[in-house]
Amino acid sequence: MKYTKTKEMLNQAVADLTQLKTIVRQQHWYMRGAEFLKLHPYLDDVMDELDEQRDLIAERLITIDGSPYSSLQEVLDHTKIKAEAGKWGVPTPERFATIVAGYRVIEKDYEDGIKAADSEDDYSSSDILTTCHNDIEKRIWMMQAELDKAPEIDN
């Protein structure tokens, strides 16, 4: 089979992007406080970006004859991002730290996917993942800046 490892890595990204979007949605719904008016719309943008990346990656997976995870059960069975029930009263820095932790999983997914795609000469998938990786690193930087922290990007 062609692109076996790449397909596996793309599907891992689909599962983790789906789970991270759910976590961002949860933080979005359970947010209250002085920063609400600023951060609530920001998280809408974050969710839109995650959706765009997931769709792009799933469509690439289909293009190379793969089958993206498309049910909640498949996502739950394959995601590496832990789910927890939503809670009120969580301070914004803790909410953002939860989101950043999910982004770091996606960052690793993309790095592993780039390596797999390159090793299988699938340069189109590698290019897509590289672009998405750059966007993820920028989000990590921005959220870390909101937390008054350095991006801590390890390349």
The greatest distance separating any two alpha carbons of the chain, rounded to the nearest whole angstrom, comes to 54
Burial (CB count <10 Å: 0-12, 13-18, 19+), residue 141: middle
CA 135 to chain centroid: 10
Domains of the chain, first to last: 4-146 (1.20.1260.10)
Distances 91 to 22, 25, 87, 144, 152 between C-alpha atoms, Å: 19, 16, 10, 15, 22
Q: Which residues of the chain register pLDDT less than 70?
A: 155
pLDDT of the residue at 154: 77
How many Cα atoms sit within 13 Å of 35 on the Cβ side? 16
For 45, other C-beta atoms within 10 Å of its C-beta total: 10
